[in-house]
Amino acid sequence: MKQLDLVRTIFLAGSLLLQLNPLCFHSRGAAGDVDLSFDPGSGITGPASWDISALRVLPNGQVLIGGSFTYFDGTNPNGRARLNADGSLDGTFVPSSFYPTNIGVIGSDIGDRVVTAAAGQSDGKVLIAGYTIHWDCDPESCNRWAIYFLNRVTADGNLDANFFYPSAENYSSDWDNHAIKSIMVQSDGKVLIGHSFTLNGTNYGEVQRLNSNGSLDGTGVTPSYYSTVECVVVQPDGKTLIGGYFTNVNGASRNGIARLNADGSLDDNFNPGTGAPGGALTSIALQPDGKVLIGGSFTNFNGTSRHNLARLNANGSLDSNFIPGSGPDAAVTSIALQPDGKVLIGGGFTTVNGVARRFVARLFGDPAPSLNIARSNGLMILSWPETSLNFQLQESTDTTLPNSWSLVAQPALTNAGQISVAVPTSAGGKFFRLKSP
């Protein structure tokens, strides 16, 4: 079913009118449908095992991607790139080599370079984590090992020398499971990272907090006993969502996803049922309304068919209003939410619900809420559903002027599931709109 992105209304000299201007409207898909206006061209080209494992929406609307790829839409960005809002490659972003310069390896050849996580800062700088595979050969044999890194680059892609996180080496063949898998930039500039390590042959997950310069903060270090933690998201209330390859937490059955209280105990109020049995979660994104987008490698969630992508309610149950159809045809390893509610996904897929999309796609989120108007004692009462609490009510007297929209000055009240604002009627006309956060 097609729905309208935006509802605008106008009242003129106290008379209520509804204006439907086709120049201001366009149809859109339902939640979970593929957004065809985001077109990455040929996307990643290379072996089917390559993917996009890091995906972040930057403050200016562009999209940062990283992974185990060499070419994107015919250009060689070598594992990391920045896309424009329409999915095309941003040719102005030319990152410097992300070889970890804080460790020097003499006499080795650099092989694969893999980005495993990324995050954009409000100042335009970008944190990039991953690893490089190194070869050291003599006439008789060759040795391979990985060097893990976390670097920060400026908006134009140059290495930021003011950020230093010590690199680490690994001589096993299980390189990817020990890399930094998630990065979150806190509002105070500090950085949360999630990664795995092996102790006595057992995989563990760990969350660390870094200062804004990359040094260890010394607080909030949380070793965990889960088999593998692939993604970590901290909620505004201090609770933590974790996803990975585990099947239980603190003795309770949890397949792939769980929520922890601030003290690290299991939050029983978040109950995903049977979760993703036999599968794994490798990406989590938290919506402003508390709903949770999850991606990974699974075929059902709590008994309902969902292929590699789903959305949960705030209590962990499956959200039946988000329907991605047949979904991505391979694992989803990264999810990012745009301010307008649209959903970006990256992974190893080549189609999404039957639409050709090589490794990166954008889906529609929830439709914009309806804006209702009633008249009462010389006031215009504008209201919209309480579920859209984060939307802003704006007004304009002339939409043809640049920067003509401003916040409505009157306060908003919440009652009976509706948010309402009472605006005095006036001569002339005004336009109103709800703007997504």
Domain chopping of the chain, boundaries = 3-27+371-435, 30-363
Predicted pLDDT of residue 2: 32
Query: 230: alpha, beta or left, given left = phi > 0 and alpha = psi -120 to 50?
Result: alpha
Predicted pLDDT of residue 45: 66
Query: How far is Cα 386 from Cα 413, in angstroms, rounded to an integer?
Result: 10
CA separation (Å) from 351 to 294, 307, 317, 358, 422? 18, 12, 26, 7, 47
Adjacent-strand bridge partners of 384: 419
What sign does the dihedral 384-387-388-390 (CA atoms) show?
positive
Tokens of 170: 């690994």
Q: Does residue 36 surpass a pLDDT of 80?
A: yes
pLDDT tens, 143-158? 667 778 888 888 777 7
Side by side, which strands form the sheet with 292-297? 280-286, 292-297, 309-312
Query: Mean per-residue pLDDT for 258-274?
Result: 88
Predicted pLDDT of residue 231: 81
Going by pLDDT thresholds of 50, 70 and 90, the confidence category of residue 8 is very low
Query: How far is Cα 154 from Cα 78, in angstroms, rounded to an integer?
Result: 17
Contact 422, 408 (CB under 8 A): no
Residue holding tokens 């901290």? 234
More confident residue, 224 or 233: 233
Residue 345 exposure: Cα atoms within 13 Å on the Cβ side: 38
Q: Please give the CATH number for the structural domain made up of 30-363.
A: 2.120.10.30
Tokens of 289: 């309304």
Predicted pLDDT of residue 142: 67
Residue at 213: amino acid letter: N
In 3D space, the residue among 283, 285, 295, 286 whose CA is nearest the CA of residue 330 turns out to be 295
Query: How far is Cα 98 from Cα 103, in angstroms, rounded to an integer?
Result: 12
In 3D space, the residue among 418, 374, 421, 414 whose CA is nearest the CA of residue 394 turns out to be 421
**Computed over its alpha carbons, how large is the radius of gyration of the chain?**
24
Tokens of 173: 């063949």
> Which of the residue ranges 92-96, 187-191, 284-288, 430-434 would you say has the lowest mean pLDDT?
92-96
Going by pLDDT thresholds of 50, 70 and 90, the confidence category of residue 436 is low
Q: Does residue 174 surpass a pLDDT of 80?
A: no
Residue at 358: amino acid letter: R
Query: Mean per-residue pLDDT for 31-42?
Result: 86
85 C-beta neighbours (distance < 10 Å), count? 16
pLDDT tens, 187-203? 788 888 877 655 555 55
In 3D space, the residue among 171, 168, 217, 219 whose CA is nearest the CA of residue 195 turns out to be 168
Q: Does residue 137 surpass a pLDDT of 80?
A: no
Q: Does residue 319 surpass a pLDDT of 80?
A: yes
What sign does the dihedral 293-297-302-303 (CA atoms) show?
positive
Q: Does residue 140 surpass a pLDDT of 50?
A: yes
Query: How far is Cα 312 from Cα 346, in angstroms, rounded to an integer?
Result: 19
